[in-house]
Amino acid sequence: MRLPEAQMDGLVGPTHNYAGLSFGNVASEKHALSVSNPKKAALEGLRKMKFVHDLGVPQLVMPPQMRPNLGMLRPLGMESIEKTPKELLHQAYSASSMWVANAATVSPSADSEDGKVHITPANLISKFHRFIEVGSTSALLKQIFPSGDFIHHSPLPPHAIFADEGAANHMHLCKPDDNHGTEIFVYGGASRKYPARQSLLASKTIAGMHKLKRTVFLRQNPVAIDAGVFHNDVIAMSHKNLFVYHENAYEEMNVQDLNDFKLILIKEKELSLENAISTYFFNSQLVSLPSGEIVVIAPQECEENAQARACFTWLVDDGHIAAVHYLDVRESMKNGGGPACLRLRLPLTPAELATANSNLLLDNLLFTTLCQWIENHYRDRIASDDLRDPSLANESIAAVSELYTLLGLKELAAHGR
C-alpha cells in the first residue's frame, strides 16, 4: 500500500510584506505596497499544516530564512538598512521562501534507476528576490533529509537557459497502490506579455540527473502565461493517478503518453482562465488520506466564486475526489501564493520518511510551540516604509535565530547565500 504523500510547508517569515516583486504574478502586482499582516499570514499557514496533519497526512515544517538578507546587502556596500535603496530593500526583506513549491524538484525512489530519492534545489533565476534563497534552501534541505537515501544535487547553473522554478512546474503521476510512476515537467511557451520561468533544457537536465525511467514534457500555452499563469500549478493539479487541468494549460498534449491515468479536462466555459487565476482553483492542494481517498484543500476564494465552486462540486459528485475543504490563506493569496504554493510534495516510503529530521515533523506540541513563537515575535502590520526601521531587521533576525534553536537546526551562515 502506498504511503500517503507527505507534505512540507514553508512557515511564513516575520518580514512578510507586499512589494510586488513577481512580474507576471497578477496577485503580487495587484497588492504591491499594500499593508501586510505577518502574524495573520504565519498563523493561516500553520493552521493549514495542522489541518493536513489532523487528516492523517504526514506534515513537515520548513522554517523561514533569515531576513533581511544581510549576506546579500553587505557585499553590495550597503552598511545600513536606512540608506539601502528601496528597490534593493524590498528584495532583501522578501519572505518568499514561504512558497516551498519552488524550493526544489523531488523525485521518488521508485522512479529513479538507482532507487534513491533525488532532490534538486531550484535556481530561481527569474526573480532576484527568489534567487537569493537558493543557498539557504540547499543547506536546509540537507539538514531536513540527511540520510543516504536522499541524493542532493546542486542547483542548475544560474543562466536563463537553465531557468528552473522547482516543483511548481513538476508533477508525479502513479497508480493508486503503486510507487512507480511518470514524472511530468512543464516548461514555458513563447509568451508576449510575461516571460516564461521554466526552460525545457532545465527540465530535461533534471530528469537526467534524477535518472528517471518515465518522463513527459509539456509546453505551457503562451495565452495562459500572458493571463498570469506564471507556474504550472496555477493551471493544473495532480495527485496519484488524477490529473486535472484547464483546456488552455498546454500548447498540445499527447494523451497516449498518459493513458494509464485519469485525465480531467476543465473547459473555459466551465471555469474561465480569469476565474481560474483569481481564485487559484488549480493551486488547491490534493492529498490522500490513510483510507486512500483523495481530498482537496482549496482557498476560500474558490468557495466564493460560482464557477470554481461548481467545478469542485462536480469533481466530488463524479467521484474523482472525496471532499473539498475551503481554508483561509488570504495573506499568502494576496502575494500570489495559494495552498499548493505553500507546500512541497514528498512522495516517500515509510522508511525514507523515518530518516527525515523528526524535529520538523508537525504534531500537537510543535504546533502549539510554533503558534506561541509567532505570537511572541510577529508584527500584525508591515508597510513599505517599515522596512527602513532597524528594529524590524533586528526583531526578525533574532526571532528566526531563536526558531532554529527551537528546531535543533544549524543557523545558516551570513543570513543568506
E-assigned strands of 202-357? 215-219, 236-239, 242-246, 262-266, 285-288, 294-299, 323-327, 343-346
| Residue recorded with cell 515537467 | 185
Q: Which of 213, 234, 191, 217 is nearest to 101 (CA)?
A: 234
Residues 6+ apart with CB under 8 A from 68: 15, 81, 89, 92, 93, 387, 393, 396, 397, 415
C-alpha separations of 349 from 116, 157, 353 in Å: 11, 30, 6
d(C-alpha 108, C-alpha 178), whole Å:
12
Phi/psi region, residue 318 (left: phi>0; alpha: psi -120 to 50; beta: rest), is: alpha
Angle between helical axes of 364-377 and 390-406 (0-180°, round to 10): 160
Q: Which residue matches cell numbers 537569493?
A: 132
Q: Residue 289: name the closest of 229, 340, 239 by CA.
A: 239
- Buried b / exposed e over 92-121, threshold 16 CB at 10 Å, is bbbbbbbbbbbbbbbbbbbbbeeebbbbbb
Place of cell 532545465: 202
Residue 139 has a CB neighbour count (10 Å cut-off) of 18
- The strands making up 242-246's β-sheet, listed across from edge to edge, are 236-239, 242-246, 262-266
Alpha carbon distance 341, 414 (integer Å): 27
What CA–CA distance (Å, rounded) separates 366 from 373? 10
- Rg (alpha carbons) of the chain, rounded to whole number: 20
Give the Cα separation of 86 and 66 in Å (integer): 19
- Residues noted as catalytic: 165, 231, 341
Three-state SS for 163? Answer: coil
Contact 176, 168 (CB under 8 A): no
